[in-house]
Structure 1
Amino acid sequence: MAEYRIDDLARVAGTSVRNVRVYQDRELLPAPVRRGRSAVYSDAHLARLRLILSMLDRGYAFAQIKEMLDAWQAGHSLADVLGLEEATGAAWSHEQPTVVPMAELVRMFGAQVTPANLRTALELGILRRRGAQLIAPSLKLLEAGHELVKLDVPLGEALKLAAELQRETDRVTALLIGLVREYVLDPKGPDWLPSGDELPRFADVISRLHPLVMSAVSAAVDRSARRVIPEVMGDRLIALAERARDLAE
């Protein structure tokens, strides 16, 4: 996955550094990941920035864009965002963001809840601040980290893995969505907008993307786990089997 400094991001998206900073200040564009003194943006930032620019070109105000993006990110379907519930009936489910007290984090991760690890978790979006509270957008991801730490994997290494997983899943998701864009939307032309009759069909296509990505990625990960676990752990499994046999004799 490509990485960008702010001037590169602005250039590729066709806007200015000043505008990028304005969109961040208006909470339309997520903050970059901090690496030392450098601020690093990803392809996900670029895609969102292009969407913001497209919506601005179509006359949407900042407040309208933020409302749409927040609703979409919170797990509402495009039908909900556009007010098309009756036209499409489409919806998808997301995990609900959950307040995680500091005491719960300490219970899960013990002394590894350090300022540095907390800062990394916030930069990666594994945790978010809401006033004085800490919010976990995905409890499943937090619990996966907990399981790794229980296996004696250092929390810092688990966070590095989370960053890598995010980059890879963003890349795979972009590939899947790119196919739909290339073969379903782009053939209609770059300036195409759905008519009133076409809008329910367009909303339905977009509404199918999230469950499509979830199904495809989940199935691929399941197949990968079944194949890779024996490959990586095979020598250990054989040694354990031999040890168990020796003890039984």
Structure 2
Amino acid sequence: MADYRIDDLARAAGTTVRNVRVYQDRDLLPPPRKEGRTAIYSDAHLTRLKLIIGMLDRGYAFAQIKEMIGAWESGRSLGDVLGLEEAVAERSWAQEAPRSIAADELEQHFGDQMTSKLSERAIELGFIERRGRGLVAPLPGLYDAAVELVGMGIPLEDVLDIAESMQAKVDHLGEELANLISEHVLTRAETADEATPFYGEVIDRLRPAVFKALNAAATRSADHYIPAVIGARMAELMSTGHQRTEAGD
């Protein structure tokens, strides 16, 4: 499981450090562990934080959220306190652990294309992420794909453009899938005790199904479009070569 400083936690949840502290002060978020003078948060904290934000977005007041969380925690052992949250957090959809990015690595891979403007955009899109004083690739496969495409000659700005467009389309599909899961699957658990193991099972079954579906769709699209553009370029080169031969004759 990942460790987060408070600014990393806030960024991962899409909120602010100030809000994280407010939720802690109101006893909605469990206290972090301490490493010296540094507060360290876990994936379970991130899951709880996203839960709080979601409930606030749905119109619940702090008091109502605290009451519901308190009822959920009441009478449970420490191992059960985060119950469902840990069941979800431990089943990360990420297939790779975040990877540290050395200070000179961005320059090595992207050269002067990685301007401060594109660096901030890469952070917004999740290619890289600030962790304390360093940088990490939260999804190494995404970072490596960008390195490969830029290495082939595609400008970094164009790579980020297509990544943003692709993410927006995938987010839309993800939202539609989440709505279907909420309507047809999650309602089968009628109590919190039932929900903890059942929702964990749902994630375990969904993860390979979603990856297979996305991979199949991407493969079918690539098989159609990539050979088509390569074939068109080959035809163009052959035509040009033929014209040069005729001119030479």
TM-score normalised by the shorter chain: which range applies?
A: 0.5 to 0.7
- Aligned equivalents of 1:207, 1:23: Cα separation in 2: 32
- Equivalent residue for 2:54, pick from 25, 50, 55: 50
Asked whether the equivalents of residues 173 and 213 of structure 1 are also in contact (C-alpha less than 8 Å), the reply is: no
Aligned-residue identity in percent:
29
Shift of residue 231, structure 1, vs aligned partner: 3.8
The residue that corresponds to 1:216 in the other structure is: 213
How many Å apart are 1:247 and its aligned residue? Answer: 9.4
Aligned position for 2:38 = none
Which whole-Å CA distance do the structure 2 matches of 1:244 and 1:229 have between them? 23
- The size of the alignment, in residue pairs, is 190
Aligned to 1:155: 156
Q: Which amino acid aligns with 2:233?
A: R
Gaps of 5+ in 2: 1-13, 24-49, 73-80
Alignment partner, residue 59 of structure 1: 69
Whether the 8 Å CA contact 1:177–1:209 is kept in 2: the answer is: no
Larger radius of gyration: 2
Task: Measure the CA separation in 1 of the matches of 2:98 and 2:119.
Answer: 17
Confirm or deny that 1:127 pairs with 2:128: yes
Task: Verify the 8 A CA contact 1:97 1:136 in the aligned structure 2.
Answer: yes
Q: How does 1:89-108 map to 2 (within 5 A)?
A: 94-108=95-109
Task: Give CA-to-partner distance per residue, 1:150-197, whole Å, 9 cap, x none.
Answer: 2322212211222112111112222233333222224x49xx33544x
CA, structure 1 residues 147+117, in 2 after alignment: closer, same or farther (shift >3 Å)?
A: same
Q: TM-score, normalised by structure 1?
A: 0.61
Residue pair 2:88, 2:199 contacting (<8 A) in 1 also: no
Distance between the aligned counterparts of 1:117 and 1:70, measured in 2? 36
The residue that corresponds to 2:115 in the other structure is 114
- Aligned partner of 1:230 in structure 2 is 227
Q: Which residue of 2 aligns with 1:26?
A: 20
The two structures, once aligned, show a CA RMSD in angstroms of: 4.0
Write the distance in 2 (CA, Å) between the matches of 1:227 and 1:47.
Answer: 41
Q: Structure 1: any 5+ residue segments left out of the alignment?
A: 1-19, 29-45, 79-91
CA–CA separation in structure 1 for the residues paired with 2:16 and 2:224 = 46
Q: Note closer, same or farther for the CA distance 1:224–1:163 as it changes in structure 2 (3 Å cut).
A: same
